[in-house]
Amino acid sequence: MPKFDYDLLVIGAGSGGVRAARIAAQLGAKVAIVESSRVGGTCVMRGCIPKKLLVYGAHFAEDIEDAKGYGWSIGRVAFDWRALVAAKNKELDRLEGVYTRILRENKVTLIPGRAWLADSHTIEIAGATRTAAHILIATGGWPSLPDIPGVEHAITSNEALDLPDLPKRIAIVGGGYIAVEFAGIFRALGAQVTIVIRAGNILRGFDEDVRDTLADEMAKKDIVIKHECKVRSIEKQVRGFSVRLAGGETIETDAVMYATGRAPNTKDLGLADVGVKLNDKGAVEVDGYSRSSVEHIFAVGDVTNRINLTPVAIAEGAAVARTLFGPAPMAMDHANVPSAVFSQPPIGAVGLTEAKARERGAIDVYLARFKPLKHTLSGRDEKTMIKLVVDRATDMVLGCHMVGADAPEIIQGLAVAVKGGATKAQFDATIGIHPTAAEEFVTLREKRPDRMEVPARAAQ
């Protein structure tokens, strides 16, 4: 038997890598983890956590305004962007300490630096080598930028979290969840926001009613969405920047943010040299157990480009650790993974979209739009949308979708029901909690007329 320095060597100390390292160590393995940046990875340092802290900070603008409808007289208010960023950074420092302590308490060796695979069992870090029986790639992803003139002037979500000053105008290129979340943050804090998308609508891949509802709500907040547009170039001006679109239109702005996708962090790791197969997007190809084309090299999280969500990376990392060092192999179940978009208003979803469900057979759709009780007094023009997609043959609920306050919190609970195969009849038999928005999911009774099944003669 070959002798290695470690049983498991993890490259990347993000959520997936740290979870895999911790569980493997608890199962008796000798583990090391390599990190070239801050412990905690994208979610903790550059993604979910700092972004949502900014969302909370931004939402106070509407909360203060809404308070007037409830009898509160609020005097002069002021917002300090730098104070919010400083408070956010202080919390990130605390969380990095927590993650580092988790590794230390579980006797996981933390090796700072950037790793390169010298062979399938050996990595090099700053001239030193380490060997391991098993290697786990958990290096995540990184914002990608197009090759256009002036793109060096653009920022990404990484830089947007630490801007020295709040821009008065910002153009955001892209229509995914990162784009709409930052659009909501900057608009609530007073910036003029323009979103530029190549597609016909925001949030590709989400349910169409979700996409339409959020687009409508963003328009109410004076966020301008330029559909089916392509950026040709970015030019620095005396004050700000000029973004030229295909067709000649220009947008004058103080900052340009690109949120057009993230690429797997697989460059300069030596993966291909040791036989690890990558797909056309640079992601590590893995099987159901997160094993790569090299038997003892695994990969989890965004670097595999499966479902790029932190809880998925954590579950994948735990499954790898238990597969290698536990009593039996374990595969992560990627079906019915709930997700959220912390837009304003936020989105929660679990299961199939209406379009995906139709590909499987006949369905029934239940949908409701209503003004939340809170806004009957606040006067805010904001609607909530909830939707159930149900398999007609089995009555099983295939998808739950919501746009509105607390949507992520509500959908997390419904995800348990969808994962368990709940039927519409079981939803109907559940007593709602009144008055809440969540109760609407168990009081939907009227099916939406199915446009897909209108007889041809009637359609004429």
Distance CA 312, CA 304 (A): 11
Residue with tokens 């690109």: 258
Distance CA 160, CA 318 (A): 31
Cα Rg of the chain (Å, integer): 24
State both tokens at 69.
């409808």
What does DSSP say about strands 122-125 and 128-137: parallel, antiparallel, or unpaired? antiparallel
What is the CB neighbour count within 10 angstroms for residue 166? 19
Residue 42 DSSP code: I
Q: Which residues contact 122 (CB under 8 A, 6 or more apart)?
A: 129, 130, 131
Q: What are the CB-based long-range contacts (under 8 Å, 24+) for 447-453?
A: 447/364, 447/365, 447/366, 448/365, 448/366, 448/367, 450/364, 450/365, 452/358
368, 239 Cβ separation under 8 angstroms: no
Residue 276: enclosing H or E segment and its boundaries?
none
Please tell me the total number of residues recorded for the chain in this structure.
460
Distance CA 150, CA 302 (A): 28
Distance of CA 456 to the CA centre of its chain: 41
108, 30 Cβ separation under 8 angstroms: no
What does DSSP say about strands 224-226 and 231-236: parallel, antiparallel, or unpaired? unpaired
7, 23 Cβ separation under 8 angstroms: no
State both tokens at 55.
């969302």
Does residue 334 carry a catalytic annotation? no
User: Alpha helix locations (H) across 221-329?
Assistant: 310-325
What is the CB neighbour count within 10 angstroms for residue 320? 33
| Residues identified as active-site | 434
